[in-house]
Structure formats: structure tokens, C-alpha cells
Structure 1
Amino acid sequence: NFKSSGDYFYEIKITETENVPEDQDIYIRDTYTESPFKLSDLEAYEFSATAGEFNDRFQIVFRESVTLSVVDQEIEALNYYYSNTRDNLVVMNPKGVEIKSIQIFNILGQSVYNNQILHQQSYSEYPITDLSTGTYVVNMNTESGVLNKKIIIN
């Protein structure tokens, strides 16, 4: 949410990050202009606003929006979920996208799982043990981009 008390100019910039890879680009997307701005260049995004509350004006994204290419379609076909019955992360990779790493973060942003030794198969399972009940974010780094998905462990 963003609230403005009048007609003013504002700046948004990143001053510090935590648990974000150094080569990860971070963008802010202004839904009014429909254009992404790369915050990770340490420059401030400047904009103006009138008085009011703007609930959906900004989005944080980790890659620039582009038209879906063949590579993007391959990544979109990649699917993964947590199996509570087997305590495994199940990865379905029908297009054979090269997966470089899988990381799992808890709700505090702490890395609780990191695997860089991966099977490049259409179906794989990775044992995930010793995680308590809760919500986690799975970060899958592929040759073509990064996918993030929330999982719930019961």
C-alpha cells in the first residue's frame, strides 16, 4: 500500500538486501506506467502522486516482463510441489529445463534447504526432512530464469 497526503514527488530505492543472490536483478513495476525499473542499480525510482491511497500501484518483480518466448514456455512447463505424505519436493520437468539449484526459505527469509546436485529428469523427488509445519518459499534457479513458489508443510 502507498498513501500520499498531497501532490508530491517520491523516490523508492533499495538500501539493503538480505538473502538475495548478488546477481539477482530486482525491479519495481509501476502499474500506472506499466514499466519496470531496475532497483538493483542503486538508483532511486522517482514518481509523482496526488493525494490518496494506492493499494496496487507497485509490484516487486525479479525479472523484466517480456513477451513469452520459447524459453519462457519451457520454464512455465516446469512444475513442483511438496508431498506431505512422502516428505519430498516433487519436480516435474517435461521440457528438460536445466535446473541449477533449489533453495527453500522460511517465512523469515532464512535459507533452510539448498541443493545444487540435481537430477535432470522429467520427474524427480528430493527428500526434505527436518522442516517444521509452516509456509515456505521454494526458489528454483534454472538456466533460463528463476521460479518462486509458496509451499505449505503440514
Structure 2
Amino acid sequence: MGSTIRDWCNAILNGLRRIDWLGPLVMRLFFGYFWAETGWAKLHNLDGFTERFVGWGIPFPAFSASMSAWVEFVGGILIMVGLFTRLTAVPMIVNMIVAIALVVIKNVGSFDELIELDEFVYILIFFWLLMAGPGKASLDAWLARRMGLDDASTVR
């Protein structure tokens, strides 16, 4: 009986290992689309987005709003396709840190509220992309294979 359960568990785990590329791909597609769509909406209402930056007291509101919107739009697309993923994660993290530091932190009264911020969760996901890379089903991995790189950190 114990052998059967162990064999069954091994079979399931081996099956999951064969499709381990699917998790990062699905996450990148949905998370990247979220950011591309958000950036696109901001770019198409840049005046309104800039006014929000003015209201929040963000320095150089027109430049900052435009930069933030472009980072989200282009960053979202790059994350979706898995191109320059690790490099893209850095400005996305910075964008979220600025959002927390200049806007959101004003409404945070406790550590629990900080941890529950959407922006904090986004930072963690971008940090994971920065550390783990985009996965096997990505343009980064394809380019690494084409260029003969077999650095495991690049192809993951």
C-alpha cells in the first residue's frame, strides 16, 4: 500500500516537473497584460493622470506621469513575452516603491496595512521575476539558447 501511494505521488510530481514551464508563463502573461493595459489606459488619459500626480504632490508631474505610464505599458509587454524580464523588473519595482513612498503610505497606519498593499504584492512578484527569470517559455530563454548560453539563471 505504501509503495502504491509513493508511486502515485512520484508519478504526479514527475508529470508536474514536465510542465514546470507553464506556471511562469501563465503568471507572466496575466501579470504582464495587467501592466500593459494599465499603462495603455494611462497613456490615453495622460492629462488626467498628470493631474493626479499634481494632486499627490509628485515632483515634475507631467514628466513623472508620462514616465510611469510608459514604464507600465512597455514593461507589461516585455514581461508578457519574457524579453529582458530581469531588467524590466527593476523600473517596475522602482515605480511601485515611488507609488508607496509618495502616495499610498499616507493611508497606511500599521505594518499589517503595509503588507496588504497591492503595490507591495506587485513588488514581490517583480522581485521574483528579477531573481528567478521568466522561465523556459520566454524570449529571454529562446535568445539564450540561440546565442549558445547555457547559464541556468538565464534559461530558467
TM-score by length of 2: 0.20
Query: Which structure: greater strand fraction?
Result: 1
Rg larger in structure: 2
Query: Which structure: greater helix fraction?
Result: 2
